[in-house]
Structure 1
Amino acid sequence: MPQKLIFEDSYKKLGFETFSENNPEALKENEYKSEIKILYVPEGYELSVDFSHYKTEQPSLFFLTNQHLQVEKGVKESNLLYYNRDFYCIQIHDKEVACDGLLFHNVFEIPFVVLNEKESTVIKNIFQSIKQELEWKDSSAEEMIRTYLKQIIIHATRMWKKQNLDNDTVKIPGHELDIFRDFSRYLEIHFREKHHVADYAGLLHIVPKTLTHKFKNLNLESPNRMIINRILLEAKRLLLYTDKPVKEIAYNLGYEDPAYFNRLFTGKTGSTPTNFRKNYSSGKKYNI
């Protein structure tokens, strides 16, 4: 059985669980659906996040909010931290390490950080410290745990930036990061009712053409395409993981005309919503 430890009061919640190689399937996503999640996975795991499949060749950290998670195979122990916004999401936190910082919602759709041996040891030690605080149940445990949680996010944010921004594929100047981070955050909040680039440009206090050019200059997909991709991702989740009719899904995603939504989905995916629900088998596969 997985080991479960939890801190909880009227509003705040943080849990810690350990999963062994004998029961990776015990990590049931539905139990943690509403929480922010940090999953430490050693090498030798196979798991799916939404419609992408990962095989870990090195220890990795996955940062998840409402993605669908399924662990298919596991070697050694994995650890899961899950918490709500009341526990850690104070607005005065630096944007990069808040609950909606670089790791959880970003325009690159990269939900993981790969760890080398030294980094893995550091992260495992912090996880262990959180576990001990939860076991001791001291009156100061909450603040200590929050401090450790922030350390994980700071370490991982540095590693994420090094792995994904300091390379020949993507180079984003530091002063530009806020725009891309804020675009991702606004998109996650508003994609159900705001479907146009102009909506997000307004929230960012820039003109739509400027926003589009910023993405183009960095060889990123256009903001319009990212908006559509986020809508389609949610549509796929609802088609596969709920029994909602296509018409209801269209309404949930802000489309008053289900026929238009049907055409959009079919045009972008090559399959009608009904056929996607019937025929989908597996997502992209990645080795990390």
Structure 2
Amino acid sequence: MLSQKIKSLQFDDKISIGMEIIPIDRDYVAKSANLTTAHRASFYCVLWFQEGNPTHQVDFTPIKVQPESLLFVGKDSVQFFDQGKNFKAKVLLFTDAFFCRNDDDVKYLNRTPLFQTFGSSQHCTLSVSEELKTLWTFMEQEDKTPHDRFKPILLRNYLESFLLQAERAIGDGISSPSTNEIYKEIFFDFNKLVEEHFKEQKPVSYYSEQLYVSPKVLSRATRQLTGKTPKRILDERMLLEAKRLLMYDISAGKEIGYSLGFTEPTNFIKFFRKHTGKTPLAFRAYYRQTMGM
């Protein structure tokens, strides 16, 4: 049983447009081989839960959802649907390639609090407003129309409006009127560097040097926006990747430790136990049993 790994879902190549809306419920999940166990998607998901109150797991965090609520899930997150409760929902899927026309669009997806849980322990959820319902309906109707040269443009514009309206509903997410704009830029650039180098670069000093700021300034930036130190953010990103690999990859624990930049298996075990109270293999066994794998 423990040799099974989490499924990695790619966007359907037959859907060349890069966006799709799918109605789902408990029966749909039960009949889908890809969804009955934990899975990792290489695209963005917006789930509109319309009926029921299931507990949806995202990156090992249980999220109790309410009827008429939206849940935003970033790409590469590990998800697990609640099969013990009836629910009715719709899922909006889209890829980077569909949304991003230029570098500004890439920057937006990397920075929006809708999909950005980095530095935070919360996944974005909000109630569905009439404005969001209207935009969703526009996307759904356009998604069903025959393909022509206008369809991808309209869908992409509706999607952008939907995301902006959702972001307006939750506010900036990680800032307040008193937040220093320079600190915000430092924080976002720090996030980007961590995402690119957290496996091989663990000292905070590396990131402060790359950002041309002192460790104290970097710490002020992360504390003001998240209440966390740079070291804690680095550790949390490393821990999340370790959890994902333990579930997604069938490699031995020590091999996963090596892939994350730990030169000794014992160091990886100590790090993981310090933050979770479990050894890596005990964590893998517990969650795979919990998820029925």
Q: TM-score range by the shorter chain?
A: 0.7 to 0.9
The 2-side partners of 1:115 and 1:197 are apart by: 38
The 1-side partners of 2:190 and 2:222 are apart by: 11
Gaps of 5+ in 1: 284-288
Does residue 1:115 correspond to 2:123, yes or no? no
Q: Is the CA contact (8 Å cut-off) linking 1:19 and 1:78 kept in structure 2?
A: yes
Which of 191, 195, 218 aligns to 2:202? It is 195
Specify the alignment match of 2:237 in structure 1. 230
Q: Which secondary structure does the structure 1 equivalent of 2:208 belong to? A: helix
Specify the alignment match of 1:71 in structure 2. 81
**TM-score, normalisation: structure 2:** 0.78
Query: What is the CA-CA distance between 1:64 and the residue it aligns to?
Result: 1.6
Share of identical aligned residues, percent? 25
Gaps of 5+ in 2: 1-10
Query: What is the CA-CA distance between 1:232 and the residue it aligns to?
Result: 1.0
Query: What is the CA-CA distance between 1:32 and the residue it aligns to?
Result: 6.4
Query: What is the CA-CA distance between 1:137 and the residue it aligns to?
Result: 0.6
Q: Deviations over 1:92-141 (max 9, x none)?
A: 42676335533323422433230244344234324324423xx3211221
Does residue 1:276 correspond to 2:287, yes or no? no
Say if 1:116 and 1:164 are closer, same or farther in 2 by CA, change over 3 A. Answer: farther
Q: Is the CA contact (8 Å cut-off) linking 2:56 and 2:79 kept in structure 1?
A: yes
Specify the alignment match of 1:220 in structure 2. 227
Query: What is the CA-CA distance between 1:240 and the residue it aligns to?
Result: 2.6
CA RMSD of aligned residues (A): 3.2
1:138-149 to 2 correspondences below 5 Å: 138-149=148-159
1:108-257 to 2 correspondences below 5 Å: 108-132=120-144, 135-161=145-171, 165=175, 172-174=179-181, 176-217=183-224, 220-257=227-264
Say if 1:104 and 1:241 are closer, same or farther in 2 by CA, change over 3 A. Answer: same
Q: Is the CA contact (8 Å cut-off) linking 2:119 and 2:226 kept in structure 1?
A: no
Specify the alignment match of 1:286 in structure 2. none
Does residue 1:39 correspond to 2:47, yes or no? yes
Say if 1:77 and 1:265 are closer, same or farther in 2 by CA, change over 3 A. Answer: closer
Count of matched residue pairs: 272
2:65 maps to amino acid: T
Q: Deviations over 1:204-248 (max 9, x none)?
A: 332222111223345612110111111111111222333210111
Say if 1:33 and 1:79 are closer, same or farther in 2 by CA, change over 3 A. Answer: closer
- The answer to which of 179-188 and 237-246 deviates more is 179-188
**TM-score, normalisation: structure 1:** 0.79
The 1-side partners of 2:185 and 2:46 are apart by: 23
2:77 maps to amino acid: Q
Q: Which secondary structure does the structure 2 equivalent of 1:17 belong to? A: strand
Say if 1:37 and 1:79 are closer, same or farther in 2 by CA, change over 3 A. Answer: closer
Q: Which secondary structure does the structure 2 equivalent of 1:108 belong to? A: coil
1:1-40 to 2 correspondences below 5 Å: 8-9=15-16, 13-25=18-30, 26=32, 28=35, 33-40=41-48
Say if 1:97 and 1:41 are closer, same or farther in 2 by CA, change over 3 A. Answer: farther
The 2-side partners of 1:22 and 1:200 are apart by: 47
Say if 1:179 and 1:159 are closer, same or farther in 2 by CA, change over 3 A. Answer: farther
Q: Is the CA contact (8 Å cut-off) linking 1:186 and 1:200 kept in structure 2?
A: yes
